[in-house]
Amino acid sequence: MEPRSFPPDVFARLAPEIYFERFLEQGSRPTGRKFTEFRPLLVQQGRQSELAPSALGSAVVRAGQATVICGISGGLTDFENEGGVYANVEIHRGGRSGAPTAEEMVLTRRTHELILAAQIDPSNFKIDIPDSIEPCRKELVLNASIRVLSRTGPCLDLVWAALVAALNDTRIPLFAEDERTHNIIPTCERKPLVLPETLVSSVSTFGLLKSGEVLADPDGPTEEACISNYVNVAKTDNGLLTKFSLLCTDTTDGVDAEKIGEILSLAGRPVSTV
Amino acid sequence: MSSIEQAFVQSLLEDQKRVSGRRLNEARKLELAFGGSYGHVEVKMGRTRLVAQVSSQVAKPRDDRPFEGLFLITTDVSSMASPRFENGRQTVDELMVTRLIEKAIRRSNALDLESLCIVAGQSCWMVRADVHYLEYDGGFIDASCIAVIAALLHFRRPDTSIDGSRTIVHTLDERPPVPLSVLHVPICVSWSFFDNDIIVVDADEAEQDLRIGSMTITINKDRDICQFTKAGKIPLSSQQIIECCEQAHGRAREITDLIHEKLKQDFEKRNRGNMGFDLAENDR
Amino acid sequence: MLLPGDKIVAEQRLGPGIIAPPLEEPRVVLAGEDSWSDKVVFINTNTKRYTPANRDYVVGVISQRLADVYRVRLQEYSKPVRLSHLAFQGATKKNKPNLNAGDVVYGRITHCDKDTEVEMECVDSSSGKAMGFGQLKEGSIISVGLGYARKLLFDGHPVLDAIGAKHQYELAIGMNGRIWVKANDDKTTLAIRNWIKEAETKGAQAVNLVK
Amino acid sequence: MSSSDSENESDVEMILEKAGLVTPGEMITDDTIWMRGHGTYAADNVTYSAVAGTIERVNKLLSVRPLRGRYIPVIGDHVVGRITEVGNRRWKVDIGASQDAVLMLGSVNLPGGILRRKSDDDELQMREFLKEGDLLNAEIQTLYADGAAALHTRSLRYGKLRNGLFVQVPASLVLRLRTQVYRLEGGIEMILGINGYIWIRKATSTNANAAPMDVSINRLEQESNSMEIYKDENDPIPPSTRQTISRYANCIQALVYNEVGINEARLRAVYEASVVYTDAGELLDNTVKTDIVKQAMATL
Amino acid sequence: MPLHNSDGSAEWIAGHNGGDTRIICSVNGPIEVKTRDELPTMATLELVVRPVVGLPTIRETLLQDCTYGCLRSIVLRTQLPRSLIQIVVQVLDAGEPVEYTVYELVGAINSSVLALANAGIPLSGLVVAVCLAIVEGEIVLNPGVDQLKKSQSTHAVAYKVDNGPEEVRFRLVMCESTGLFTQNELLQVLETAEDAAREENKKMRSMIEQQVAESLAFA
Amino acid sequence: MSRFEIYSPEGLRADGRRWNELRHIKCGINTHSKSADGSAVVEMGASKVVCIVQGPQEPETRSRVREKATLSVSVTVAPFSTTERSKHVTNDRRLQEMSANLQNLFEEAVLTHLHPRTEIVCSLTVIAQDGGLLSCCINAMTLALIDAGLPMYEYVSACSVALFDQTPLLDPNNVEETELASVTVGIVGETDKISLLILERRLGLDRLPPALELGVEGCKVLRQVMDKEVRRHGAMRLASRAE
């Protein structure tokens, strides 16, 4: 039985671990990046490119092969302090629509927790009618529909980057009361959202190998097949953390404080808006 | 279930005996315990065990019924009760449990929906009762009904007040919570039929697998039959049916008294707790 | 008492409950009492779900009768085990035992490894005699913990002798936690059933329960 | 109360008495000499009827034949069936009974003569012979314990059917006759299955299962060892024969519509009566159906 | 062994002022698996978290995901190929406001580990989870409800415990921290968490030992 | 609808009937001879149900192969069946429950052991609802099963009884059923013993006995009507066959 040889991409699917080890030995990764190198994150806000004219705000984020688009639309709720930003993440599965998968639900919930942690000032969502007698009870609801157009690996970082960019891009309407029908209608003036500086500027994802090596921004089928330990860090502009979620199931000698320190220092990634 | 087990249970039944040692018309002893938060009750009948939790939130009433609140009962059985239940799908037996509880409690207006209305057409209370099944040993219909009605009686919702067009929901410390208006206490009693005209009350798991048909009567203390479901299998004369209703009425009286007694005990325990000072403990 | 993850150092053969992964020391994987004998060390537990092991005596219920094999279920919801039509005493191609779904059989696990379907037989393949294996008629079956069943089968239990003194009964103990009991009449079978079940939790003074 | 006028009440009773119609739960007899057949049940040795139908007393056996009901297989019946499933070494055949009949690989004529041994690759090529949807005529060989039938086609009269039209009628309307295969005028041949499945086809001598009258033995021998008997293609059928086939089909529907039992004589009579309508399609009208059946019955 | 029908079960109660979190967990397995969920080389692990109020939502899906991650590190699934291990975590009393999930997560992990051990499923160790919060700058173990509401951040930390009765080894398996906290606050939390985990491990160990002793009462 | 109009002191109901009068019953047998083994249409007053029976036939799914014939019943309600066009199909849980009840009831009446390993499929379609829906379904199913030639111990007849204070009203229509509590009684054969009893609204225990008695009588009358119809239909077919 003479040894069989396969073209690299077939070999990568057949035996991802061995294929991956070959790269690690030379200190590089299948995607060509160094261990601690992030994919460049390109953000394009809706305002310049008329991405989604009818949305209050929108943005597209690209990193490597992955693309995420986020559009924000408004709505009213008549219950008190229920105004705010509500996100829903969908992953494009080649047109097959169906019940949301576990990954979509987990991404939606994690994004929701990040929004709560960001503590966006609720006054943004109060509606004050210029000359009305009693304060208006309705509140503004911003529905962020986030769609991962092409998924090449864990994508919480891209989803959050798209949402932040879209929120920055959002212009919410001022409201007035229609004399005849007495309901609240949006006027054409717009005002930007007042976003707190604690709004997280970046979420970074790290993979942890069995040997303890830290890989920044795992991406691509091979890395996803081989890495089972992940760390997600949400860091604000001024260095505070709002989210740290770590899952290390099979590491030979565990994760100690020094390793976590190393990861935290790497966290935070440059975003270049196009 | 093996054929010899079926034969064993059947032959015991034929000379008026049961594996659990109970008489044919003897139901299992009911154990009732109220939990920490309002509307939380745990019911045990022999090896069958379940928990009911009632909760409330403000919601918008239905357009076609602006003066009524909303009342929802969920009775999904998970595989915790027994591996025979699947977490997703509902088998026919589970459907019958849901339908019978729906008829026994919701359709019989045990909870006065009009009392749940806050502002007609705008806001009302939505009360939901969730039943969680911990252990299955037959008798889910009877146990669920008792659990839901006891939880409704035990539940207290926050008080509300209207100022101008705004409704304020007070927290439990600001204002004492308000009980729900439960109009009557329906109690379900189920019979199981076996070959050779054997009728048994409150069957356990083995008996419920072996039975060929069942009958469930829901009745309250003041002799109102809330629902009656008997579909086929052993025909009963009117006389026998009335006898079963009387038996069910006896059981309903006994269980209603037990619930009220347990409610009184729980109420005393709660009030002695937050009286702020220690009552003179007169240990009679 | 040892718990999953604990280290164990032993020259003897590693019995159930202990695993020695390659290049690593042996690890305990179950929570139970470590019991040492000169040949083997194993963790004694009394859990409920049975995973088949070679040469275990088992009481099973036939769940499906196929052309040339029965499917036998050792516990409700467990994976069924294969029992060939010919694995009975004196069974030939022509006269096969006529068993149907729901019948109870007592037999022994013959072939059991992780990757194929488990096989059992109701005859001692070496001697060809039934040795008490085969169909169990009438009587009743109770479910007990696996540790308790093992003890009843190998070391016996005072409660069995106490019952034996007062009543005449037949017993088939399965390592899968199923015990078949049969006395002269159903009332006694029911009583014996309850005594054996009580003895699992009552320990020593279960004996005086027996009337 | 349902107001059925009273005067036709009496003649209804009169017909019932004569025909001996009983309905479920009705007591038939309480002396125990009678053996109980189909459609009856006993409760503390009183015999009751289980179906609505006519009582039949055949020496000691008492049974009730329902007015309508599925075909009950009897050994030796010549039936037409459709393959529903190809199993291991057997076919499942729908013959309109309560269960699909079974056609074993062993009880089928295979190319290469009647005596050929069944080999393994026969099992693999079963679909070469008969596949789902194929129509065949066969004879009921045996009955299983639960009433399901086992068929066989080990005679040249039986096999795959082609060159014709399938018509289904209630089994109770097909009268039990000496032979079920007729040659009708206009070059037509008909197989009247006892189970109500009827096959009308162009009559040609080359049919493997043609009526045996005019086919010599050695031709049969040479015929049956080629794959001929299982080919799926129809022979070319001229439009005139097609017209006759559909005319016969409509005649059968006419008899069914009038609930008249079908046999060879009645069929020929209805066909003659229908000739006056030039186009076979006109026979679909219900009044025409009643008219031609009345005329046909008058001539018998 | 609170539940009789399941192969293994456990109830976990975290008494902290302002109401306690009560979670009950049942394990059935290894049982027959449906062919479409069957894995050729290992057992299928099915985990469901059910809230006390209402039907499971995405809040419970995240709890399931984190708990599943922790259990994957200890359950020796390759020992039981082509079978199903079915875990149901039922919250009987959340003991925390609905916007927090930290106690339910810690309870889900601890109760399912106890239930797995009780069911006799082969494990390569235990997982111990603890719940901390930073309230007015100080780290608080097992915060009360009002402390939770005032807290700047909440942390659920889980350690894998193995290497046997004497020198027990603690390896960090999971950390879910939410809120606003600095880097060294996080590192301090992890330190406190490890000591808290040692205590919790002693408690869990004695609970398991006591339960095993009870089950071997017949000896 | 004030209570006065439902049952006047002189003992007349809204539609002019007395307390113990059934509505006009029209039964059609073998109405769908082409598409089914057995078919029947039953009209009780303005309630109309069509029942189609296929079987005994080869079971559709392997799971339904048992020593006895499997009876699978499904009930569908036409959206135009009630006066106000129901936007959503009435919740299928209620229909699933009704199908389960029908299946239990008829498993007792049909000799299923005579046709092992087969399946009998009954599909009921409710064309019009004017009260007494379940009893109408039961009667339609009985006739359809008889028409299919399936062996049955006895007829299964059913009728419903509403209760206006103490007086039971036989075979209530929609108005009476919405205002008053009504009970559905099902009998197998001519006994006084009740096989099916369904009550869905509150009713005093002491008011039940009169309702049961009237229900049993109603069922007996209905059995006669159905029996006569089966005989009349049988006679007509035999007559045409005899020529």
Tokens of C109: 């696990």
> Does a structural domain hold residue E178?
yes
- At D12 the pLDDT is 57
- Specify the DSSP element, H or E, that contains A142: strand A139-150
According to DSSP, the β-strands at E8-15 and D181-184 are unpaired
| Alpha-carbon dihedral sign for residues F82, F84, F85, F87 | negative
Instruction: Assess whether pLDDT exceeds 70 at residue D225.
Output: no
- At F90 the pLDDT is 56
Domains of chain D: total: 3
Domain boundary among D39, D66, D93: D66
- Cβ separation of B2 and C139 shorter than 8 Å? no
Q: Are residues D204 and D92 in the same domain?
A: yes
Q: Over chain E (219 residues), what is each successive 10-residue block's mean pLDDT?
A: 90 78 94 93 94 93 95 93 95 89 94 95 94 92 89 94 86 92 92 93 93 85
B189 band by pLDDT with thresholds 50, 70 and 90: very high
- At A121 the pLDDT is 84
> Does a structural domain hold residue A86?
yes
Tokens of A231: 């760390």
Instruction: Assess whether pLDDT exceeds 90 at residue A237.
Output: no
Residue from C19, C25, C29 whose CB has the most chain E CBs within 10 Å, to mutate: C29
- Cβ separation of C48 and E119 shorter than 8 Å? yes
Question: Pick from E119, E124, E163: which is nearest to C47 by CB?
Answer: E119
Q: How far is CA B271 from the centre of its chain?
A: 26
HSE-CB at A137 with a 13 A cutoff on CA atoms is 10
Task: List the single range of C157-161, E60-64, F47-51, F109-113 with lowest mean pLDDT.
Answer: C157-161
Q: Which of residues 155-174 of E touch C (CB under 8 A)?
A: 161-165
Q: Which residues contact D146 (CB under 8 A, 6 or more apart)?
A: D99, F116, F117
**How many CB pairs below 8 A link B and C?**
39
- At B277 the pLDDT is 43
> Does a structural domain hold residue D71?
no
Q: Among C96, C163, C164, which residue's Cα sits nearest to residue C135?
A: C96
- Cβ separation of C79 and E74 shorter than 8 Å? no
- At C203 the pLDDT is 72
Q: How far is B74 from chain E (nearest CA, A)?
A: 8
Query: By the 8 A CB rule, do C209 and C143 touch?
Result: no
Strands across the sheet containing D197-202: D164-168, D197-202, D188-192, D181-184
- Cβ separation of E90 and B37 shorter than 8 Å? no
Instruction: Assess whether pLDDT exceeds 50 at residue D1.
Output: no
- At D2 the pLDDT is 36
> Does a structural domain hold residue E128?
yes
Domain boundary among D176, D208, D230: D230
Pick the more confident residue, B220 or C10: B220
> Does a structural domain hold residue D35?
yes
B283 band by pLDDT with thresholds 50, 70 and 90: very low
Instruction: Assess whether pLDDT exceeds 50 at residue B63.
Output: yes
- At F89 the pLDDT is 58
Distance CA D107, CA D149 (A): 13
B53 band by pLDDT with thresholds 50, 70 and 90: very high
Helices (H), chain F: 3-6, 92-109, 133-147, 174-179, 208-242
Question: Pick from C102, C103, C140: which is nearest to B8 by CB?
Answer: C140
Distance CA A247, CA E129 (A): 13
Q: What residues of A are in contact with residue E175 (Cβ under 8 Å)?
A: 244-246
Q: Is A88 on the interface with E (CB under 8 A)?
A: no
pLDDT tens readout for residues D5-19: 444 555 556 655 666
Q: What residues of B are in contact with residue E84 (Cβ under 8 Å)?
A: none
Q: Are residues D189 and D137 in the same domain?
A: yes
What ipTM was reported for this prediction? 0.87
- At C141 the pLDDT is 94
Instruction: Assess whether pLDDT exceeds 50 at residue D216.
Output: no
Q: How far is F36 from chain B (nearest CA, A)?
A: 26
Residues of chain C with CATH 2.40.50.140: 57-136
- At F91 the pLDDT is 62
- At A147 the pLDDT is 93
Pick the more confident residue, F94 or D209: F94
Question: Pick from E119, E205, E212: which is nearest to C32 by CB?
Answer: E212
Enclosing domain of residue E101? 8-215
DSSP state for residue D70 in the 8-state scheme: -
- Cβ separation of B165 and A79 shorter than 8 Å? no
Q: Is B239 on the interface with A (CB under 8 A)?
A: no
Task: List the single range of B99-113, C98-112, F56-70 with lowest mean pLDDT.
Answer: F56-70
Q: F137: domain CATH number?
A: 3.30.230.70
- At C156 the pLDDT is 85
Helices (H), B104-220: 140-154, 205-210
Q: Which domains does chain B have, with CATH numbers?
A: 29-267 (3.30.230.70)
- At F2 the pLDDT is 62
Q: Which of residues 191-210 of E touch A (CB under 8 A)?
A: 191
Calculate mean pLDDT across residues D180-209: 81
pLDDT tens readout for residues D123-181: 778 888 888 999 999 999 999 888 889 999 888 788 888 888 999 998 888 888 878 88
Distance CA C149, CA A203 (A): 56
Average pLDDT of chain D, as a whole number: 81
Q: Among E130, E127, E119, which residue's Cα sits nearest to residue E84?
A: E119
Q: D43: domain CATH number?
A: 2.40.50.100
Instruction: Assess whether pLDDT exceeds 80 at residue C209.
Output: no
Q: Are residues D188 and D90 in the same domain?
A: yes
Question: Pick from D39, D41, D259: which is nearest to F241 by CB?
Answer: D259
> Does a structural domain hold residue D277?
yes
Q: What is the rounded radius of gyration, in angstroms, for the C-alpha atoms of chain D?
A: 22
Q: How far is A137 from chain B (nearest CA, A)?
A: 8
> Does a structural domain hold residue A176?
yes
Question: Pick from B5, B15, B17: which is nearest to C141 by CB?
Answer: B5
Hey, which CATH number is domain C140-209, 3.30.1370.10, 3.30.360.10, 3.40.50.620, 3.40.50.300?
A: 3.30.1370.10
Q: A117: domain CATH number?
A: 3.30.230.70
Average pLDDT of chain A, as a whole number: 85
Instruction: Assess whether pLDDT exceeds 60 at residue D253.
Output: yes
Whole-prediction pTM: 0.89
Q: Is E180 on the interface with B (CB under 8 A)?
A: no
Domains of chain F: total: 1
Q: E148: domain CATH number?
A: 3.30.230.70
Enclosing domain of residue D215? 78-230
- At E14 the pLDDT is 85
D114 band by pLDDT with thresholds 50, 70 and 90: low
Calculate mean pLDDT across residues B69-78: 94
- Cβ separation of B224 and F208 shorter than 8 Å? no
- At D205 the pLDDT is 62
DSSP state for residue B218 in the 8-state scheme: E
- Cβ separation of B3 and C139 shorter than 8 Å? no
- Cβ separation of B164 and A137 shorter than 8 Å? no
Calculate mean pLDDT across residues D189-198: 91
Calculate mean pLDDT across residues F165-177: 90
Give all chains having 3 or more CB-to-CB distances under 8 Å with chain C. B, E
Q: Which of residues 17-46 of F touch D (CB under 8 A)?
A: 22, 24-27, 30, 33, 37-38
Q: Are residues D133 and D192 in the same domain?
A: yes
Beta-strand (E) ranges in chain B?
A: 30-34, 40-45, 48-59, 70-74, 117-119, 123-135, 156-157, 160-163, 166-169, 178-179, 187-194, 198-201, 213-219, 224-236
A200 band by pLDDT with thresholds 50, 70 and 90: low
> Does a structural domain hold residue D2?
no
Angle CA C174–C178–C181, to nearest 5: 90
Tokens of E137: 């700058």
Distance CA D40, CA D46 (A): 10
Domains of chain A: total: 1
Distance CA A207, CA D33 (A): 89
Domain boundary among D179, D206, D230: D230
Q: How far is C95 from chain B (nearest CA, A)?
A: 23
- At E61 the pLDDT is 95
> Does a structural domain hold residue A117?
yes
pLDDT tens readout for residues D65-83: 888 888 889 899 999 999 9
> Does a structural domain hold residue A151?
yes
Calculate mean pLDDT across residues C134-150: 92
Average pLDDT of chain C, as a whole number: 89
Q: Which CATH class is domain C57-136?
A: mainly beta
Touch criterion met for F and A (3+ Cβ pairs within 8 Å): no
> Does a structural domain hold residue E2?
no
Give all chains having 3 or more CB-to-CB distances under 8 Å with chain B. A, C, E, F
Give all chains having 3 or more CB-to-CB distances under 8 Å with chain D. F
Enclosing domain of residue F182? 3-83+90-242
pLDDT tens readout for residues B74-128: 999 999 999 999 887 788 888 999 999 999 999 899 999 999 999 888 889 999 9
Determine what percent of chain F is predicted with pLDDT higher than 90.
55
Q: Are residues D173 and D259 in the same domain?
A: no
Calculate mean pLDDT across residues D59-65: 86
